[in-house]
Amino acid sequence: MEFNPFDDRWWLAGSSLNWISAAIAARPAWMPCEGAVERLRGRRARTISAVRLLAAYRTLETRQAHALDPSLPALPKAAFWLDMLGAGFCEPGFPIAVDGKQAASPLSADWMAVRLPPHEDIMPRLAEALDLTPPELATLAPCRGPGSLDWRPNLRGQRQYDRHNLICADLAVARAAEGWRTLGEAWGRFDLICHDPLMGAGGPDLELIGENETVCIELTASMGQSLSAKFNRWARVLRHPGTERVHVVWLAAARTVEGIPERLAALSAERPRQHWAIAEDWRDSPVCPDGFAPKPGTPPEPYDWMRADMDRVGEAVGLPSAGSWKRPRVLMGDSIPF
């Protein structure tokens, strides 16, 4: 069954997933350990890409990971994901069944989410296994804090809000297809947006960078007293020099919570460059009720842009299967946003 994070059937038992940790539970038979690190060493670039995405987006369904970086396999039962699990570089999460028919295996579940292990910082093991250089390590995630002299990323699962994270990843997939550069939660930080370390390392759930403007996404499912404070904090961020092209879009995570749209509409109307919408509507059509409809600029070439041309050229010279030849990565485009 196709995964849709807005589909309530996946969240009947709550907004969290059923996570399996090899560190604290018996290792399932489908999670191979022997030889996993060695095999991943042979897929070094793919492994780095996967860890980078997981550090940025917190939680990803495997098809979302594939959409954000086509070098990663889409199916949860792919050997690459099984090796990532076996090496302990990520953990699997499955929807919690309420009918007693729990499918907690990439071989049988409808879909599988992955996250960095929350019980361990995998950075030392990953750096040793892949012989990572300091520049490669520095691109995996932001440093441990503003002004920190320790530039090494903390590669540990944190800030896990499963449904929330998966919705944000779904929004990133939709906007990346239009040509936006997408940055996950780990990279969307106030101190990086307005270059003011006093604003702290909090920030948006998703950041979209276009040719003419930057759109910061805040996803909310409640309207407590802190909501107004969050709007005010963004107002302070947007007053900084250099943020004139930054907009904030507040998205209601669910339609069923009464009063949220009205509250978001009222708070955003009082503050410049802050807008609101319903998350599922905005995923399908990025237009806010106030008319704000950002454009990314010139969309990138599709990932498979060469295949049809190579088929035609190959047929003309007697090589009809040329479109299926393996191409150098430089000809496939770089889908990694940082």
Q: Which of 44, 15, 32 is nearest to 113 (CA)?
A: 15
In angstroms, the CA 130 to CA 320 distance is 38
Per-residue pLDDT of the chain (338 residues; tens, 9 = 90+): 678 999 998 998 889 999 998 766 667 878 878 899 999 999 999 999 999 999 999 999 999 999 999 999 999 999 999 999 999 999 999 999 888 777 788 988 889 999 999 999 999 999 999 999 888 888 887 765 555 545 567 888 887 889 999 999 999 999 999 999 999 998 888 988 988 888 887 899 999 999 999 999 999 987 776 899 999 999 999 999 999 999 999 999 987 667 888 999 999 998 999 999 999 999 999 999 999 998 887 655 555 555 556 666 666 676 666 666 655 555 544 443 33
Distance of alpha carbon 305 from its chain centroid, rounded?
A: 24
Residues 6 or more apart whose Cβ sits within 8 Å of residue 200: 146, 190, 191
pLDDT at 320: 62
* Model pTM score: 0.84
Question: 335 near 68, Cβ under 8 Å?
Answer: yes
**CB-count burial class (<10 Å; 0-12, 13-18, 19+) for 99:** exposed
pLDDT at 338: 36
Question: 325 near 309, Cβ under 8 Å?
Answer: no
Phi, psi of 280 (to 5 degrees): -65, -40
pLDDT at 33: 81
In angstroms, the CA 9 to CA 12 distance is 6
